[in-house]
Amino acid sequence: MNDLTVLDGNGGLPAHLQQMFGGSSTNADLAGGIGMGFPILSYKGKTWAVNVGGERTILYNADGDARQSIEAVIIRANPGLSKIYYSHGYEEGSTAKPDCYSHDGKVPAADAQAQQAEKCAICPMNQWGSRITENGSKGKACSDSKRLAVASPNELDNPMLLRIPAATLKDLAKYAEDLGKRRAPVEAVVTKISFDPSVAHPKMVFKPVRWLTADEAAHVLETKDGDTVRQIVGIDPSPIEDMEGLEGEPPAAMVQQPRPAPAAPAAPRAVPRQPTKAAVQRQAATATDTEIEAALGGQPKPAAPAATQAAPKPAAPKPTAPAAPVKQSAAAAVLAEVDASLDDVLASLDD
C-alpha cells in the first residue's frame, strides 16, 4: 500500500486549501537541482542490458534470447567527445564509477573522484601509448566516447544514456553524414543499433528503420530540451559549469575586459618665467653698480649671461678721444655728490 493513499480519502485537495494556496506549490522547489538519476543502456559482449540504480538487467527477445540489437530514437548528443578513465581498467558491463571523466573532453568533471590533470589535453592518461591492449597494440588509458540520449519508441519520455565507444565513433559520424545527405534529422527516425559480426570487439552498426509518426516526433521535441536529457548528454545548464569547461581565456562577453590604463599626461611645455619685481630691482641694482664703477674709472665685472641669452659681444677698445658725457643714473648722481662732499672736507683739512 502506498503511503500517499491516505490523502485520497477526501477526493483530493480540500477546497479551503485550494483557496488558501491559490494553486502555488513548493514541490518543484524541493526537487529543483537534485538529479533523480537516469537509466544507462549498456552492453557486454554483444548483448544489451539496462542499468538502473546499480542493477543490471539483460534485455531479451520474445523468444528468450539475449538481445543483440535494439531499436531506439537518438534524441540528443553531446557535441564534444567525452572521456572516461579507470585506474585499473574498465570491465565491460561494469557499473562502477570511473576514477576520472570529462563530459566535454577538455577538463575533468568537477565531481571526478581522482582528477588526473587540470586539462585533458595535457593529461598523461590521454596520451597515445598510455595503455597497451591485450594484443600488444597501443591505445589510451583514458578512452574517448560520445554521450547519446536515446529512448525506446514505446517510451519516449524515459530517455537513457548510451556511450558510443571509440571504435564506433567513425561509424556514428558516417551514419549522421548519410542521414544529412537526405536531409533527415537523426532524431526523426527510429534507428536499429546492432553489432558488427565481422570483428571480435563490440563495434556498433547503425541502420534507419522507419520515420517517426507525428505524435512521436512531438514527444521527442518535448523531451529533447528537458533537464534529464541535458544531464544525460552532459550539457550542464549552469553558466558557471559552462565557463569551467572552456580551454585558456574566457569570452570576451563575460569577461569583463579590463579597462585600458589611462595614458600618461603629456609633459607641459616649459614657459619662460616672467621676472618678478624683486628680480627686476636686483637687475637694475647690478646695472647701476656697473655704471658707478665705470664712472669711477674701475673695470666693471661682466654679468654672468643667462642660459637662454646669447653670449655677450666683446667690449670695444676705449677711444683715444674723450668719451662723450654719459647720462648718469640716479645712483651715480648720488655718488658724485658724496665725492664732492669728500673733496670739500679734504680741502678744509688742507687749509
Q: What is the pLDDT of residues 175-216, one digit of tens each?
A: 999 999 999 999 999 999 999 999 988 899 999 999 999 999
Residue 215: predicted pLDDT: 95
In a domain, 249, yes or no: no
Percentage of the chain beyond pLDDT 70 is 56
Residue 38: predicted pLDDT: 87
Pick from 124-133, 243-252, 270-279 the range whose average pLDDT is largest: 124-133
Q: In this predicted structure, which of 9-18, 35-44, 67-76, 241-250 has the lowest mean pLDDT?
A: 241-250
Residue linked to cell 530517455: 159
In a domain, 350, yes or no: no
Average pLDDT over residues 247-270: 41
In a domain, 293, yes or no: no
DSSP 3-state assignment of 205? Answer: strand
In a domain, 308, yes or no: no
Closest CA to 100 of 90, 233, 56: 90
**Cβ atoms of residues 90 and 163 within 8 Å:** no
Is the pLDDT reported for residue 66 higher than 50?
yes
Instruction: State which residues form the domain around 89.
Output: 46-244
Average pLDDT over residues 299-310: 48
Cell of 142: 583514458
DSSP 139-173: E-SEEEEEEEEEE-TT-TTS-EEEEEEGGGHHHHH
Is the pLDDT reported for residue 244 higher than 80?
no
**Residue 162 φ then ψ, to 5°:** -130, 120
Looking at the structure of the chain, the number of domains it has is 1
In a domain, 300, yes or no: no
In a domain, 183, yes or no: yes
- Tell me the β-bridge partners of 204: 195
CA distance 244 to 234: 13
Average pLDDT over residues 332-348: 57
DSSP 3-state assignment of 234? Answer: coil
CA distance 264 to 249: 28
Closest CA to 76 of 150, 17, 24, 156: 150
Q: In this predicted structure, which of 11-15, 45-49, 122-126, 304-308 has the lowest mean pLDDT?
A: 304-308
The rounded Cα 123 to chain-centroid distance in angstroms is 21
The rounded Cα 52 to chain-centroid distance in angstroms is 37
Residue 112: predicted pLDDT: 87
Average pLDDT, rounded, for the chain: 73
Q: Which residue has the higher pLDDT, 131 or 149?
A: 149
Is the pLDDT reported for residue 168 higher than 90?
yes
**Cβ atoms of residues 191 and 73 within 8 Å:** yes
Q: For residue 207, what are the CA distances in angstroms to 173, 197, 210, 344, 351?
A: 13, 15, 10, 141, 150
Q: In this predicted structure, which of 77-86, 232-241, 316-325, 328-337 has the lowest mean pLDDT?
A: 316-325
Is the pLDDT reported for residue 335 higher than 80?
no
Tell me the torsion sign for CA atoms 242, 246, 248, 251: negative
Residue 30: predicted pLDDT: 62
Residue 258: predicted pLDDT: 38
Q: Which residue has the higher pLDDT, 114 or 350?
A: 114
Is the pLDDT reported for residue 103 higher than 90?
no
Residue 184: predicted pLDDT: 92
Is the pLDDT reported for residue 282 higher than 60?
no
In a domain, 294, yes or no: no
Closest CA to 251 of 240, 259, 243: 243
Q: Which residue has the higher pLDDT, 309 or 52?
A: 52
Cell of 178: 548519410
Pairing of strands 160-165, 40-44: parallel
**Cβ atoms of residues 106 and 115 within 8 Å:** no
Average pLDDT over residues 139-143: 88
Average pLDDT over residues 220-234: 92
Closest CA to 148 of 207, 49, 75: 75
**Cβ atoms of residues 40 and 49 within 8 Å:** no
Q: For residue 7, what are the CA distances in angstroms to 65, 82, 136, 263?
A: 44, 45, 64, 73
Residue 10: predicted pLDDT: 55
Is the pLDDT reported for residue 165 higher than 80?
yes
Residue 37: predicted pLDDT: 73
Is the pLDDT reported for residue 98 higher than 60?
yes
In a domain, 20, yes or no: no
Is the pLDDT reported for residue 12 higher than 60?
yes
